[in-house]
Amino acid sequence: MLSLIGIAVVVLGFMARQNPLLVVTAAALVTGVAGGMEPLEVVATFGRAFKENRYVSVVWVVLPVIGLLERAGLQERARALIGAIHAATAGRLLLLYFVLRQITAALGLTSLGGHAQMVRPLIAPMAEAAAEHHHGPLPEEVRASVRAHAAAADNIALFFGEDIFIAIASILLIKGFLAQNGILVEPLELSVWAIPTALCALLIHGIQMMLFDRHLARMIAEGRR
């Protein structure tokens, strides 16, 4: 039971708004020590796990590259590009990204998008530029709403699109859970039945994105009164 102290460390750390990486690392150390491991043994376990699963961390190599691109003016270029397209609006742009994100996720290409590598450096600035092109300078509240909808488009498209891919971890998890409860299904069956759900998500969120431009106009009009 003492090993559960790590959960309390995570909860208290997040409540105190501490660095998540430090909180999780501290929780792991506390859990290991509480479980009877020596501190050096806990650190050694960290190193061994990283060595055996280092391919998972390859994606982090992309982040410094994105930082360098942003420093070189990536966001400004994205804003200028979308600002030159008169027909582009924030809602239409986010809907297009939603469709592309869902299609690529359904093909198993889940790493092509994401908040760090796609939404923050490209999609959100482009959506803001599209909104500014039609509505002028954006109040901070409106700007935050555009960014939130950009992040939501990525999350929802990935969540409902990835289950269509037969070899995704979530499909295997569902299959294993159902098998434990005596329900035998094939991964292909789960993938097929994920298609209607993904289409419903596309329809519902697509309507929301099409109405988002009106919502922005209303927010800006109210802010100027």
What pLDDT was estimated at residue 104?
A: 93
Q: How far apart are CA 204 and CA 188, in angstroms?
A: 25
Same-domain pairing of 38 and 139: no
Last residue of one domain, picked from the residues 34, 58, 82: 58
In a domain, residue 63? The reply is no
In a domain, residue 64? The reply is no
Long-range residue pairs from 61-66, CB within 8 A, at least 24 positions apart, any chain = 62/116, 62/117, 63/116, 63/117, 66/116, 66/117, 66/121
Last residue of one domain, picked from the residues 33, 58, 83: 58
Same-domain pairing of 174 and 83: yes
Same-domain pairing of 19 and 110: no
Instruction: Output the tens digit of pLDDT for each of the chain's 225 residues.
Output: 677 788 888 888 888 888 877 888 888 888 888 888 888 888 888 777 766 655 555 555 666 666 666 676 777 777 777 767 778 899 999 999 999 999 999 998 888 888 888 898 889 988 998 888 888 888 889 999 999 999 999 999 999 999 898 877 778 788 888 888 888 888 888 889 899 999 999 999 999 999 998 998 888 888 766
Q: Number of H helices and number of E strands within the chain? A: 10, 0
Same-domain pairing of 31 and 80: no
Q: How far apart are CA 121 and CA 76, in angstroms?
A: 10
In terms of residue numbers, what domain contains 81?
A: 73-224
Same-domain pairing of 86 and 188: yes
Residue 121's identity, in one-letter code, is P
What does the angle CA 216 – CA 222 – CA 224 come to, to the nearest 5 degrees?
A: 105
Same-domain pairing of 123 and 30: no
Residue 202's identity, in one-letter code, is L
Same-domain pairing of 15 and 100: no
In a domain, residue 165? The reply is yes
Same-domain pairing of 25 and 108: no
In the chain, the number of structural domains is: 2
Cβ-proximal residues to 201 (8 Å cutoff; 6+ apart), any chain: 102, 156, 157, 159, 160
In a domain, residue 183? The reply is yes
In a domain, residue 66? The reply is no
Same-domain pairing of 142 and 212: yes
Same-domain pairing of 29 and 83: no
Same-domain pairing of 188 and 138: yes
Same-domain pairing of 94 and 153: yes
In a domain, residue 90? The reply is yes
